[in-house]
Structure 1
Amino acid sequence: MNRQRAVFAIHIAAILFGLTGIFGELIQADAMVITAGRAGFAVLSLFAVMRYAGTSPLLGITRRNIGVLAMAGFMLAVHWVTFFLSVKISGVAVATLGFASFPAFITLCECIFFKEKISVAEWLILLLVTLGLVLVTPSFDFRDDATIGLAWAILSGLTFALFTLINRRAAARIPAQQVACWENLFVALMTLPFSFPAITQLGALDWLWLAMLGILCTALSHYLLVSSLMVLNARSAGIVIALEPVYAIFFAAVLFAQYPSARALLGGALMVGAIVWSGMRKAGKAPA
């Protein structure tokens, strides 16, 4: 893959990530059913890709790896369930902007759990993200559905940050497709028991949306991201992936006429800007 194709691939991945909330809105099912279906289709497609490539999901897997992957799968399951709850309650735009707080949670978790020092610039990034969340918040009354939805989205961001740290610290030596396959398998196993009988009552169109969510927005987007990172540096990839909320808000406006307020847009701009700045700083510190 050359640089031009890698740039195209990372943009497609960002668009697919942005479509996640759209499919969550389209599927007429609760968050648990959507999560179980998404994970199931992702496992099937990732397993097929590995078999086509001649690799085995069991290669290099140990008991310790299984425990770590199960823990990561639990965090991923909570992340998806809370995100789709937010989509159902408050809409795609608010859910995506609330989830976009996860880089700030990563920084805080690294400080709390791994005793890593937070620089002045990182404190400023956290402040910008917090200010963005305050502006995005429709009201500070938990009787307001939009505020409840934003709270679920922020919890989704926190659990995704924990999921990211588990992968970064403990599963870094396992091939990416293998990690994704096992984690999605654990998500499916954890959520399927809570999805019956509702999942058996889905219509044909809902199954189509679930398949697209699992195959395109999970398996394919993951493959495109990993492939592009073999050519692009972290700075370039991070800037593009930070556009995910922009794509999500655009699609929500076009498809569902969900238009965020000017205040929410300003808050989103602050958060996206802080995320891009954070990515650029980390890329600059990375070894050549």
Structure 2
Amino acid sequence: MTQRRALAAIHLAAVLFGLTGIFGELIQTGAMLITAGRASFAVLALFISVRSQGRRLRQGMGRRDLGILLSAAVMLAIHWATFFVAVKVGGVAIATLGFASFPAFITLCEWGVLRERVTLSEWIILTLVTFGLLLVTPSFDFRDQSTIGLAWAVASGFTFAMFTIINRRAAKHLSAQQVAWWENLFVALMCWPFALPLLGQPSLLDWFWIALLGVFCTALSHYLLVSALTVLNARSAGIVIALEPVYAIAFAALLFAQYPSARALLGGAIMIGAITWAGLRPPRPKPSD
């Protein structure tokens, strides 16, 4: 994949991620069942895709690969579950703006854990994202539902950052569809024991939304993300994916008449502005590990 195609793939993934919060609002059941259901539909879609190409899902995989994929899946399961809780508690706008903090976590983790060099402009971006997040915070009182929702969203952003960093290693010699299939399989296996008591809740329409969420916003978006990570580093990918709130807030305003407060919009504008500025800079090549 060329760098131009990788950027196109990551932008399409951002649009699909933006729809995730919309489905979370539409589906009338608990976060754990949504997570288990979307992962299961994604597993089915990816299995059909891989097998139709005549490839095996274990091709080129060793025990170490399974360990990395399992670690990434743990982060992915927590990310999805906390994000859907954030949507249910705080609404689509708060959930997606809180999630948009994850590039800051990527920068901190790659600097503090992986010891990668972080440029001055990236530190400025991190500072602006943090300041914007403070403005997005409805209040600093955890009796406020919106504040609780934002806390869940920030937790979702942190675990997505960890997932993105781990996937850099998983994507090295395995196909994107392989990585996505195994990670979604592990997520489904981890979540179904907790989701089974909720099976009676969703309507037929809810299952339809979960299927769309699994096929398009999970299987396809996951494939696009992992493909892009074979070319882009985690920060470059994260900067584009963090544009998700733009799409999510627009969809939520159009479909549900959910509008963030003026202060949240200002904070979101600062965050998105910093992210967009970073995205306009020439992307750095992905470092070799």
The verdict on a shared fold, with TM-score over 0.5 as the criterion, is yes
- Taking every aligned residue pair, what percent have the same amino acid on both sides? 68
What's the counterpart of residue 96 of structure 2? 96
The amino acid across from 1:145 in the alignment is Q
1:41 aligned partner: 41
Q: Distance in 2 between matches of 1:110 and 1:212?
A: 33
Which residue of structure 2 lines up, in the alignment, with residue 193 of structure 1? 193
Matched, 1:259 2:228: no
User: 1:112: Cα distance to partner?
Assistant: 1.7
Letter in 2 for 1:135: L
- 1:150 and 1:235 mapped to 2: Cα distance? 22
Inter-CA distance 200–178: structure 2 relative to 1 (3 Å threshold):
farther
Tell me, in whole angstroms, the C-alpha distance in 1 between the residues paired with 2:130 and 2:103.
11
**2:164 is equivalent to residue 164 of structure 1:** yes
Q: How does 1:50-199 map to 2 (within 5 A)?
A: 50-199=50-199
* 1:115/1:63 CA distance change after superposition, 3 Å: same
Aligned CA distance change for structure 1 residues 181 and 2 (closer, same or farther; 3 Å): closer
CA distance in 2, matches of 1:87, 1:70: 26
Q: Is the 8 A contact 2:37 2:188 kept in 1?
A: yes
Amino acid at match of 2:215: I
Q: Quick one: distance in 1 between partners of 2:254 and 2:274?
A: 26
- CA distance change for structure 1 residues 166 and 12 in 2, over 3 Å: closer, same or farther? closer
Normalising to structure 1: TM-score of the pair?
Answer: 0.89
Give the aligned partner of residue 209 of structure 2. 209
SS in 2 for 1:140: coil
Matched AA of 2:208:
L
Distance 1:15 1:58, change over 3 A: same
User: Which amino acid in 2 is paired with 1:129?
Assistant: V
Indicate the SS of the match to 2:199. helix
Change (3 A) 1:202 1:235: closer
Q: State the Cα distance separating 1:59 from its structure 2 match.
A: 0.6
Q: C-alpha separation between the residues in 1 aligned to 2:171 and 2:80?
A: 20
Superposed displacement of residue 279, structure 1: 3.7
Deviation at 1:122, TM superposition (A): 2.0
Q: Does the Cα contact within 8 Å between 2:168 and 2:234 map onto a contact in 1?
A: no
Larger deviation, residues 14-23 vs 151-160? 14-23
* Alpha-carbon shift at residue 270 of structure 1 (Å): 1.3
Q: 1:243 to 1:144 in 2, by over 3 A?
A: same
Q: Over residues 120-177 of structure 1, what are the superposed CA-to-partner deviations in whole Å (9 max), with x where a residue is unaligned?
A: 2222111101111011001111110000100110011101111111111354221111
- What one-letter code is carried by the residue in structure 2 that aligns with 1:199? L
Which is worse superposed, 228-237 or 96-105?
228-237
Distance 1:227 1:116 in 2: 22
Specify the code of the residue in structure 2 equivalent to 1:24: G
Structure 1 residues 257 and 178, CA gap change in structure 2 (3 angstroms): same
**Per the alignment, in what secondary structure is the counterpart of residue 147 of structure 2?**
helix
Question: C-alpha offsets along residues 217-261 of structure 1, whole Å, 9 cap, x if unaligned?
Answer: 111233455678999999998776443211100111111111011
- List gaps (5 residues or longer) in structure 2: none
Say if 2:176 and 2:227, in contact at 8 Å, map to a contact too: no
User: Given that residues 106 and 234 in structure 2 are in contact (C-alpha distance below 8 angstroms), is that contact kept between their aligned partners in structure 1?
Assistant: no
In structure 1, C-alpha distance between the alignment counterparts of 2:193 and 2:61, rounded to whole Å: 25
Please give the root-mean-square deviation of Cα atoms over the aligned residues, in Å. 3.0
Query: Residue 107 of structure 2 aligns to a residue in which SS?
Result: helix
Secondary structure (helix, strand or coil) at the match of 2:259 reads coil
Contact 1:86–1:153 under 8 Å retained in 2: yes
Structure 1 residue identity aligned to 2:251: F
C-alpha change, 1:3 and 1:165, in structure 2 (3 Å) is closer
Change beyond 3 A, Cα 1:206–1:9: same
Instruction: Give TM-score scaled by structure 2 length.
Output: 0.89
Q: Residue 25 of structure 1 contacts residue 88 of structure 1 at CA under 8 Å; is this kept in 2?
A: yes
Question: What are structure 1's unaligned runs of at least 5 residues?
Answer: none
Classify 1:249/1:35 alpha carbon distance in 2 versus 1 (closer, same or farther; 3 Å): same
Residue matched to 2:274: 274
